[in-house]
Structure 1
Amino acid sequence: MEFMILSNQPIAKSVYKMVLAGDTRGIKAGQFVELALPGRFLRRPISVCDWTENTLTLIYKVVGVGTEDMTQMQEGVKLDVLTALGNGYDLDRAGDAPVLIGGGVGVPPMYGLARELCRRGIIPTILLGFNTIDEVFYEAQFLALGCTVYVATADGSYGTKGFVTDVLREENLTPSYYYTCGPLPMLRAVANATVCSGEASFEERMGCGFGACMGCTILTTQGHKRVCKDGPVFQKEEIEWQS
């Protein structure tokens, strides 16, 4: 589909928020989109942060030439977008006290999920992990939903010093279910630190984004599965958590 950029602004160190206008039918919390960038062969996969009937909010971090190109895109630019990719989170498993855990650019999909849970009358607890205070974003937006929010920074410059698993332990949180997105070491640590079941969204590098190239496979209890097509969300018990 064709989307038009409404805004594209920095919100933290090397982190940008892009709002697009277009058809968002079918999008669910935890899914992602693939953007075609001018002059670049491969599309860029970006997690969905939030959406309305006709707007799509994406938050991305500058990690290479493609995302660097994105920072220069101005209002009014039109992009070719593959939407509603992947399976998303299962909200029916949340229970009455879910915890949502986002690390770095794994934070954005937690916002759309939190908003959807709040619409159901389920107010989740939010754990956000960053390296340093300069990278912190969207704390205020989660608070505005009515959520309890904890922030951890690896260097201790803001919130709890350490990792999201330190917050779980220090605050003695006992979630009914957890949802998470972030780097693999964090996903593994969260799985090991929780007694309850949960779902993790993986951030594997993707070539095609719709299951053809097999470049984003991970090992599960049912064999290798594609993050783009079979995921990006997998249940905790599905994953072979290799060290």
Structure 2
Amino acid sequence: MQFKSMVVSNVELSPNYFRMRMTAPQELLASAPGQFLMLKVTDAIDPLLRRPFGLFDVGTFTAEYAGCGTQAYCEILYKVVGKGTKLLSALHHGDVVDLLAPLGRGFDLGPAGEEKVLVGGGVGLAPLYYLAKALVARGEKVRLFAGGRNRDDILCITEFERLGVETYVATDDGTLGESGFVTQVLERHLNKGMRIFACGPTPMLGAVAKMAALHEVPCQVSMEAYMACGVGACLGCVMKGANHTEDTPDYRCVCKDGPVFDSFELQWS
């Protein structure tokens, strides 16, 4: 769907990291964890392209100010890294943006009874919160492994803990949680009978995918990529599939075939 959305709140969580809530049509409540939206910041020509953001949360709230009772909403997490996100950070309650959502392929929650392990870094935690809500609602045991360069990169841990998710934190400089990579913490707790869901920087996802293969643990990864259209038309976000060679190309569109993939579908070398 393409629709106009009103900004409800736009809060800075830590330096340059924001959490934005926007109104949404009721149909968006059927979105799957792991799907994303494409957001047009302004009606101006510059910036021309929409920006992709994973769905951090989808739900309803009482919109008394609008006189319309219960209102659906969607939320995103984002980091200010360029012109588009800088403009986004300046938006306030009542401002209007244009959204295209829901897009892409979300997570397969897997069979009940497995221990679910979530691994995220920075804004890669965004789709994992919506996923955690869905898993907890099914009565699943969920653990979160969150990593970042420093404490400012660790977002919304309290929200995960309120769901009853057991959390582990690691930072490169040791300013929060353990010192080192989050994959090092994950490896100490990994065993068969688990299912991994990961989102974050590609090097981290590659390390998680290799670890999962070594321990024979099912693993899904949500890939981050620059996107122009979000629907597979421009082919600007392709990446190599597991069977790719120069003679037999195998490309996957992150926006259409993903952003969630089984880790064995992709070529990590």
Give TM-score, length-normalised by structure 2. Answer: 0.87
- What is the rounded CA distance, in whole Å, between the counterparts of 1:102 and 1:8 in structure 2? 22
Q: Assess, with a 3 A threshold, how the Cα gap between structure 1 residues 48 and 94 changes in structure 2: closer, same or farther.
A: farther
Tell me whether 1:166 sits opposite 2:184 in the alignment: yes
Unaligned runs of 5+ in 2: 61-71, 244-249
Tell me the SS of whatever aligns to 1:116: helix
Partner Cα distance (2:100, 2:228) in 1? 13
**Counterparts of 1:43-192 in structure 2 under 5 Å?**
43-53=50-60, 54-93=72-111, 95-170=113-188, 172-174=189-191, 176-192=194-210
C-alpha deviation, 1:93, in angstroms? 4.6
Q: Which moved more, 1:91-100 or 1:54-63?
A: 91-100
Q: Deviation per CA, 1:97-150, whole angstroms, max 9, x where unpaired?
A: 010001111011110000000000102100001110122211111110001100
Conserved? CA contact 2:121–2:153, under 8 Å: no
Report the CA distance shift for 1:218/1:127 in structure 2 as closer, same or farther (over 3 A). Answer: same
Q: Give the 3-state SS of the residue equivalent to 2:231 in structure 1.
A: coil
Deviation digits for residues 205-237 of structure 1 (CA, Å, limit 9, x no counterpart): 111111110010011135101000110001011
- After the TM superposition, which parts of structure 1 deviate over 6 Å for at least 4 consecutive aligned residues? none
2:40 to 17, 21, 36: 36
Give the whole-Å Cα distance in 2 for the aligned partners of 1:138 and 1:151. Answer: 12
Indicate conservation of the 8 Å contact 2:115/2:140, yes or no.
yes
Q: Relative to structure 1, is the Cα distance of residues 94 and 31 closer, same or farther in structure 2, using a 3 angstrom cutoff?
A: farther
Residue 94 of structure 1: how far off its partner (Å): 6.4
Deviation digits for residues 45-74 of structure 1 (CA, Å, limit 9, x no counterpart)? 011000114011111011111000000011
Deviates more, 1:218-227 or 1:65-74: 218-227
- Secondary structure of the residue aligned to 1:157 is coil
Q: State how many pairs are aligned.
A: 241
Distance change (3 Å), C-alpha of 1:135 and 1:149: same
Say which of 228, 250, 253 aligns to 1:207: 228
Rg larger for? 2
SS at match of 2:48: coil
- Letter aligned with residue 67 of structure 1: T
Q: Percent of aligned pairs with the same residue?
A: 38
Counterpart CA distance in 1 for 2:12 and 2:241 is 37
How much does 1:19 deviate?
A: 0.4
State the match for 1:20 in structure 2. Answer: 22
> Cα distance, 1:95 vs. partner?
4.7
- Show CA shifts across 1:15-49 (max 9, x none): 00000111124311001100012132100001100
In 2: Cα distance, 1:93 partner to 1:191 partner: 20
Task: Give distance in 2, aligned partners of 1:80 and 1:71.
Answer: 15
Q: Give the secondary-structure state (helix, strand or coil) at the position aligned to 1:212.
A: coil
